[in-house]
């Protein structure tokens, strides 16, 4: 098997699975219970929370809520903040290329609660220019939600520059969807008010994520009930998932530099191989995250090629996993000014630190064989 779809989900670290199993079996008490077994679980939960914040250098400025994943974290960062701070203004800003969990949260705030969302255009490199952000900010803007790394193209957004601009608008909170960047880039998350990410993109288990938020913030909870997670997210917390998330984040950060260097060499080899023929057009911009490479087929249907690769045990994506069934044409590529034909025939190859040069060579060999066999457009 050649797995090159790690932007959709990554293979769990053995250590993350071991931690989940160990805590699930040995410390399964409810952390809200008042007996010793419950206290023991609560200690593991709080240690996991402290570890996540410490690893990211946020212990003194931010707090951490454990959630079911980045989609819930994004929804909470947007909707809960909008409801809590509606008296400040009704305008909220995001980009035209965000993950559906961000885009749809903005649309729901508009449809049901009369907020005024603004979807900023991206440039040809796939990110919002700082100048575009600044032109659209005003005194009524209460939230700017912008991703760190695009999940389809790997375009890296200039988070630091955005943060500098937003300092001029103290009523406007800054949310960063760090799902595709955390543990990979050198982003300074202390400049953001809210940071969301998911464990399963960094070698953790599915169904686990976190929202980090500046300690001064308050929320209107999405889920009401008990007082778990500081009263902001009701429901019994999975201590095992939280501990496993902290473990996977620690491993990812410890290997960050060597992983970036390894994956960069793999991405370069992939792009060099792809560009040796006139069969593709690269969509990922210069300076993109090497973990994600996106290209369009010029003469073949992407869905046919992806299926043929799958039959050979080689797994890649056409558009993103969260959009593939609903949006067969990539709205991200259309937003970048790509043609509809290119946007309908794109392929995403995404790496993990476990990917190898043998994986790249196997993909290229199978890819060009398939192109020679399938009927062109």
User: Could you read off the pLDDT of 152-209 as tens digits, one per residue?
Assistant: 999 999 999 999 999 999 999 999 999 999 999 999 999 999 999 999 999 999 999 9
In this structure, are 294 and 348 located in the same domain? yes
- The answer to whether residue 187 is catalytic is no
pLDDT in tens, 65-98: 999 999 999 999 999 999 999 999 999 999 999 9
Catalytic residue among 109, 172, 293, 322: 322
Kindly state whether residues 226 and 114 are assigned to the same domain.
yes
Q: What whole-number distance in Å separates Cα of residue 128 and Cα of residue 131?
A: 8
Q: What is the pLDDT, as a whole number, of residue 164?
A: 98
Bridge partners, residue 350, by sequence: 5, 292
Residues 243 and 265 in one domain: no
pLDDT tens digits, one per residue of 258-306: 999 999 999 999 999 999 988 899 999 999 999 999 999 999 999 999 9
Phi first, then psi: give them for residue 142, nearest 5 degrees.
-110, -15
Sign of the C-alpha dihedral, residues 375, 303, 358, 150? positive
Could you give the CA distance from residue 287 to residue 264 in angstroms, rounded to a whole number?
Answer: 11
Residues 216 and 293 in one domain: no
Where on the phi/psi map is residue 287: left (φ > 0), alpha (ψ -120 to 50), or beta? left
pTM for the whole structure = 0.95
Confidence at residue 330, expressed as pLDDT on a 0 to 100 scale: 94
Per-residue confidence (pLDDT) for residue 37, from 0 to 100 = 85
| Calpha distance 204→251 (Å, rounded) | 10
C-alpha distances in Å from residue 227, one per residue of 28, 77, 258, 268, 291? 19, 18, 41, 49, 39
Checking if the pLDDT of 228 tops 90, the result is no
- Sorted by sequence, the CB contacts under 8 Å of residue 160 that are 6+ apart come out as 187, 188, 191
pLDDT score recorded for residue 220: 86
Q: Are residues 200 and 273 in the same domain?
A: no
Structure tokens at 239: 């201590």
In whole angstroms, what is the distance from residue 179 CA to residue 99 CA?
Answer: 10
Separation between Cα atoms, residue 136 and residue 91, nearest integer Å: 10
- Domains: count for the chain: 2
Residue 154: give the domain boundaries.
14-254
Q: Which residue, of 204, 230, 254, is where some domain finishes?
A: 254
Domain boundary among 220, 254, 288: 254
DSSP letter at 203? T
């Amino acid at each position: 098997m050649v797995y090159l779809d790690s932007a959709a989900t990554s293979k769990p670290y053995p250590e993350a699975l071991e931690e989940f199993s160990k805590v699930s079996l040995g410390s399964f008490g409810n952390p809200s219970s008042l007996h010793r077994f419950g206290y023991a679980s609560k200690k593991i939960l709080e240690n996991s929370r402290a570890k996540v914040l410490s690893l990211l250098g946020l212990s003194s400025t931010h707090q951490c809520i454990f959630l079911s994943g980045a989609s819930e974290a994004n929804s909470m960062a947007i909707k809960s903040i909008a409801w809590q701070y509606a008296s400040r203004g009704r305008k909220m800003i995001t980009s035209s290329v965000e993950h559906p969990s961000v885009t749809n949260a903005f649309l729901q705030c508009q449809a049901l609660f009369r907020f005024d969302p603004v979807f900023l255009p991206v440039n040809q490199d796939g990110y919002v220019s700082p100048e575009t952000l600044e032109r659209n900010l005003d005194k009524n803007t209460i939230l700017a939600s912008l991703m760190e790394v695009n999940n389809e193209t790997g375009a890296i957004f200039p988070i630091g520059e955005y943060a500098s601009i937003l300092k001029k608008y103290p009523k406007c909170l800054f949310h960063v969807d760090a799902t595709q960047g955390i543990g990979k880039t050198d982003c300074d998350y202390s400049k953001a008010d809210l940071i969301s990410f998911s464990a399963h993109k960094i070698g953790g288990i599915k169904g686990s994520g976190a929202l980090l938020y500046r300690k001064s913030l308050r929320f209107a909870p999405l889920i009401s009930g008990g007082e778990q997670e500081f009263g902001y997210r009701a429901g019994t917390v999975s201590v095992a998932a939280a501990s496993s998330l902290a473990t996977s984040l620690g491993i990812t950060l410890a290997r960050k530099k060597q992983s970036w260097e390894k994956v960069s060499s793999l991405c370069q080899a992939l792009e060099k191989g792809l560009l040796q023929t006139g069969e593709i057009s690269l969509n990922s911009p210069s300076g993109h995250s090497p973990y994600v490479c996106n290209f369009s087929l010029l003469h073949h249907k992407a869905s046919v090629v992806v299926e043929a690769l799958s039959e050979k045990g080689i797994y890649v994506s056409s558009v993103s996993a969260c959009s593939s069934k609903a949006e067969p044409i990539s709205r991200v590529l259309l937003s970048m000014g790509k043609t509809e034909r290119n946007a309908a025939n794109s392929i995403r190859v995404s790496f993990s630190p476990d990917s190898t040069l043998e994986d790249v060579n196997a993909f290229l060999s199978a890819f060009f064989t398939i192109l020679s066999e399938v009927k062109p457009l």
